[in-house]
Amino acid sequence: MSVLRHADGEPLLLSVDGGVARLTLNRPDKLNAFTVGLHHSFMQALDQIEADSRVRVVLITGAGRAFCAGQDLGERDVESEKPLDLGANIEAFYNPLARRLVGLKYPLVCAVNGVAAGAGANLALLADLVLAKRSARFIQSFAKIGLSPDCGGTWTLPHLVGQARAMGLALTAEPIDATRAEAWGMIWKAVDDDRFDTEVENLLAALATAPTAGLVEIKRAIRAAWSRTLDSHLDHERDTQRQLGLTQDYREGVRAFKAKRPPNFIGG
Ligand code: T3D
């Protein structure tokens, strides 16, 4: 395993092994809440991941009992008379982060190992696949502190669960547990706590040995669908299939099927 950065006190850990880039939010005492330092580390880690040709899938998870409690409120001096420009923080950190995560070429998996609140909840909802421990909760905490969801939450929530449920979650800040989040289509799977690590590893191993070029096009097409008509999307699907039909992995997949043997995909 190659550990690119892994030092005590680092707010974010990154390792790359077996095609999987693992990002671990690492401020467990503060439930992995976002600080400026964590944001900077995140951007550097994404630079490293994007430059690493070994990577075929990206994982984000949290250290300790939480996934992420959103913005570290300790960084906000609400006693000072000086006005706070939260928009500047969103512009500098959360929006670039959201855009980079959504734009990642390879499948992005979030393993929600515990509570995900505020921007932490919405960070998870940007992933292509979200697995959550059954004991985990998602909380749109913003309404409790006079804010409105960020990190894409007012976009992802209605797309994922519909307006009524999005409104309910955001206006009340009621926690939703992982079982219900799965039932509502907000996440891919709620997994029993004792099976969670195994399920996450199985999923990562499957994605890291899958025909990567195909997965890249699948996520691109599904994400692009939100802003396209069916008619133009049919053209996109034709072009994608033409391109994928030229890959070694397509030939390998069909050969393996015909030979009744497991495929050995190279990723392109
Ligand atoms: O400011 C901007 O830039 C705008 C952008 C905003 C984005 C946002 O994310 S706004 C929303 C911010 N997040 C929240 O409002 C969530 C606050 N946290 C909570 O509501 C609860 O902690 C949880 C429901 C997430 C978990 O509750 P519980 O009972 O399991 O844990 P706890 O005891 O509340 O927290 C444990 C520790 O983590 C505690 O520290 P301590 O007392 O042991 O030293 C707590 O203060 C700390 N912690 C939890 N969340 C945050 C935090 N510290 C700083 N910021 C946090 N967000």
What domain range includes position 239?
Answer: 212-259
Same domain, 253 and 153: no
- The closest residue, in CA terms, to atom 18 on ligand 1 is 69
Q: Partners of 58 in the beta sheet? A: 21, 108
**Residue 8 predicted with pLDDT over 70:** no
Give CA torsion, residues 20, 191, 188, 61, to 10 deg.
-40
Is 267 within the bounds of a domain? no
The atom number, within ligand 1, closest to the CA of 141 reads 15
pLDDT, residue 6, reads 42
- The closest residue, in CA terms, to atom 48 on ligand 1 is 30
**Residue 231 predicted with pLDDT over 90:** yes
In angstroms, rounded to a whole number, what is the distance separating the alpha carbons of residues 178 and 201?
19
Same domain, 68 and 197: yes
**Residue 2 predicted with pLDDT over 50:** no
Residue 110 Cα to ligand 1 middle (Å): 20
Is there a contact between 77 and 46 (Cβ–Cβ < 8 Å)? no
**Binding site membership of 156 for ligand 1 (Cβ less than 6 Å):** no
Name the strand (E) or helix (H) holding 86.
helix 86-89
| CATH number of the domain enclosing 44 | 3.90.226.10
pLDDT, residue 3, reads 41
| The model's pTM | 0.96
**Binding site membership of 139 for ligand 1 (Cβ less than 6 Å):** yes
**Binding site membership of 138 for ligand 1 (Cβ less than 6 Å):** no
Q: Summarize pLDDT for 81-114 with one digit per residue, the tens.
A: 999 999 999 999 999 999 999 999 999 999 999 9
pLDDT, residue 106, reads 97
Q: Summarize pLDDT for 189-219 with one digit per residue, the tens.
A: 999 999 999 999 999 999 999 999 999 999 9
Same domain, 158 and 236: no
226-231: long-range contacts at Cβ-Cβ below 8 A with a sequence spacing of 24 or more? Answer: 226/159
**Residue 151 predicted with pLDDT over 80:** yes
Same domain, 138 and 231: no
pLDDT above 70 as % of the chain: 97
Kindly give, in sequence order, each residue whose CB lies less than 8 Å from that of residue 267, ignoring residues fewer than 6 positions away: 19, 56, 211, 212, 213, 249
Give CA torsion, residues 149, 153, 158, 159, to 10 deg.
170
Number of domains in the chain: 2
Is 126 within the bounds of a domain? yes
- The closest residue, in CA terms, to atom 4 on ligand 1 is 86
**Residue 4 predicted with pLDDT over 50:** no
- Top mutation candidate among 31, 68, 89, 169 for ligand 1, by most atoms within 8 Å of CB: 31
Is 265 within the bounds of a domain? no
- Top mutation candidate among 26, 27, 30 for ligand 1, by most atoms within 8 Å of CB: 30
**Binding site membership of 141 for ligand 1 (Cβ less than 6 Å):** yes
Same domain, 11 and 89: yes
Mean pLDDT of 113-142: 98
Residue 240 Cα to ligand 1 middle (Å): 43
Same domain, 191 and 204: yes
Q: Summarize pLDDT for 16-47 with one digit per residue, the tens.
A: 999 999 999 999 999 999 999 999 999 999 99
